[in-house]
Structures are given as structure tokens and as C-alpha cells.
Amino acid sequence: MRTAGGIRRRQSRAAWFFLAPSLAGVAAFNAVPFADVVRRSFLDAMGKSSVGLDNYRSVCGNVAFQLAAVNTARFLAVCLPLLMGISFGLALLVFRRDGRGNFYRTSLVLPMVIPVAAIVLVWKMILCRDGLLNQFLTWISPLEGWSLLPGGGVGRWEGRWETDWVNGITAFPVLVVTYIWKNAGYDLLLWLAGLASIPESLYDAARVDGAGAFARLRYITVPGLSGTFGLVLILSAVNSFRVYREAYLLAGSYPDMSIYMIPHLFSHWFLTLDVQNMCTASMLLIAAALSVAAAAAAGRRAWRRVTGR
């Protein structure tokens, strides 16, 4: 008993020794200033007198904040299922137990590595008003006066397509596609790792029992990937805020309303040094993240109770 306690104490002291440099920096750059952020979110613009919840009321009532929050939520709601579905499909397509198919894997991960600033010129090449996409659409639109999308909202039809894909209502799907192009590779690697961790013997047994390809997918692959699912979801959500880089480089700091997101709002507030608004909005975002995490944890507990695992 005494030795066990002794070992634990020794371990504990060594752990703090290893942690100290990292903790010091995290405290200096995040924890301590965070206290200041909390304080400022309750103070007036000068940082002198307390205004209670007025800042929260004004930020929540701010039209730009509402727009940015709704757009960000919508972007996540559209992108996360799409990205996870597509990358899962690609993983099933590329996965080989013998480790072959390396070229496909390398190719699919490559977009993750390519700097946004570099690839953005190619996106412009494709999406600009006389770009490749419009040329292609003109080419496949057989008759003059006939448009793929009626109403003229997307394609102004004057014999040829001249849609400005980046500045307009189509900016949202454009952003979704560039996001998926860039991030599918990362999720693919996570899925592939999950697939490799499912023992082959399970599939063999199922095959012997006469399970078809779909049944094997439904009853072995999908349950076997439940652990991977959570991580893919979290990391995809983290990466989704980085789509600001594409949005900024394609459409500038005043983009179409449909892709005005939280990062745009923060960079505007940052330019005007609107510290108290930024502090308040940061608090709101952290609260949102924590409540999503709490909901997910509760959901997982409930799921475990139901399935009895």
C-alpha cells in the first residue's frame, strides 16, 4: 500500500515537471487573458464601469452578429454531413487491407497540403465570369434562351453564361465545394485508420454466414467506426472555421451576405478595435461550444444506456 502511494506521488511530481512549460504558456496566453475577456464582457467600452448584461444584449441584437451566427451554423449544418459522407465513401473506395492503392491515397490527401493562397488563383480561373465553369455551362446549354436554372437568379442567359460565382448567392456552394476539396483527405485518413482497426476475421465470419456486402457494411463497418465518427466530426468542425481563408481570398473582406461568417465579423471588429464586442462574442462562442460538447456527452451516455454497451 505504501509503495503504491509512493509511486503515485513520484509519478505525479514528474508529471507536473513535464507539464510545466506548456501550462505556463497556456496560462500566459490563454487562461489569464481569458479572465480579462470575461471581465471586459461585463464592462462598458472604456473598461471602467459595469454594465451588467448590456453587452450581451447588444451583441445578440446586432444584425451582423445574427447574420454571421446563422451563416456559420448553416455552413456547419451543410458541410459536416457532406464532408463526412463523401470522405467515408472515398475511404470505402480506396481502402485496401494489403496497403496498396497508395497513389490514390496520396492524391486525395494532397489538397490538405496545398496552400490556400496558391490554389485560389486556379479557383478564380474556374469561377470568374469568363471562366471555365461558365464556358462549360455555355457549351452544354444547347439552345439560345434556354437556361439550366430558370429565373435568371443564377445564370443570366444572354447567349452565354456570365455568372460571377464568387460574388453572389452562389458563393455559398462554392465555399462548400472548396472546403470539401481541401478537407476530404484528412477525414479520409481518419476513416481509413478506423477501417484498418476492424479485424478482418469479423468480415470472414460474416461472409461464411452469408452476409452480403451491404449487410457487412451495416452491421460490421458502421458500428466499428463509431469511435472514429466523433473525432472526424470534431476535427471537421474545427477545420470549418479555417474556410475563412478561402472566403477571404476569393471574395475579400466584404463578401456576399450568404458567406458572411463569424470570422468576417471578428476581423471587422478587430479592425475597429471593438474589444468589448469581441470579448462578449467570444464568450458566446465558448458557451455555444461547451453546450454542444455537453449535449454530445449526454447523447453518448444515453446512447450507451440504450444499446447497453
Partner 1 sequence: MKTGFVRWSFARCRKNLRSALCGAVCLLVWLPILLMLAASFMPEDELLYRYAEPLGAGREAVRAALLPSYPAVSPYIELLFRSPGFFVMFWNSCIQVIPALAGQLLVGAPAAWAFARFSFPGKKQLFFLYVLLMVLPFQVTQVSNYLVLDRMGLLNTHLALILPGIWSAFPVFIMTKSFETIPDALMEAAYLDGAGEFGAFLYVGLPSGYAGIVTALLLGFIDNWNALEQPMAYLKDLFLWPLSLYLPGIAQDKAAVAFAACMVMMLPPVLLYLNGQSELEQGIAASGVKE
Q: Which of residues 113-132 bind partner 1 (CB under 8 A)?
A: 113-126, 128-132
Which residue, 110, 109, 120, 113, is CA-closest to 87?
A: 109
Our finding on whether 18 is near partner 1 (CB under 8 A) is yes
Distance CA 190, CA 232 (A): 7
Task: Number of residues interacting with partner 1: please give it, by CB under 8 A.
Answer: 92
- Among residues 54, 58, 67, 181, which is the contact residue for partner 1, using CB under 8 A? 181
Q: Let me know if 259 is exposed, middle or buried by CB neighbors in 10 A (0-12, 13-18, 19+).
A: buried
Here's the x/- map for partner 1, 230-269, by CB under 8 A: it reads as xxx-x--xx--x--xx--xx------------xx--xx--
**Which segment (73-81, 99-107, 145-153, 204-212) binds partner 1 by CB under 8 A?**
99-107
Distance CA 156, CA 144 (A): 12
Pair 171, 251: CB distance under 8 Å: yes
Pair 195, 221: CB distance under 8 Å: yes
By beta-carbon proximity to partner 1, the closer residue of 13 and 151 is 13
- Among residues 69, 186, 221, 256, which is the contact residue for partner 1, using CB under 8 A? 186
User: In angstroms, what is the C-alpha Rg of the chain?
Assistant: 25
Distance CA 103, CA 222 (A): 26
- Among residues 2, 3, 21, 214, which is the contact residue for partner 1, using CB under 8 A? 21
Our finding on whether 66 is near partner 1 (CB under 8 A) is no
Which residue, 298, 292, 173, is CA-closest to 238?
A: 292
- Nearest distance from residue 150's CB to partner 1, in Å? 25
- Nearest distance from residue 18's CB to partner 1, in Å? 4
- Among residues 189, 202, 206, 211, which is the contact residue for partner 1, using CB under 8 A? 189
By beta-carbon proximity to partner 1, the closer residue of 93 and 150 is 93
Binders of partner 1 among 30-59, rule CB under 8 A?
30, 32-34, 36-37
- Widest pairwise Cα distance in the chain: 89
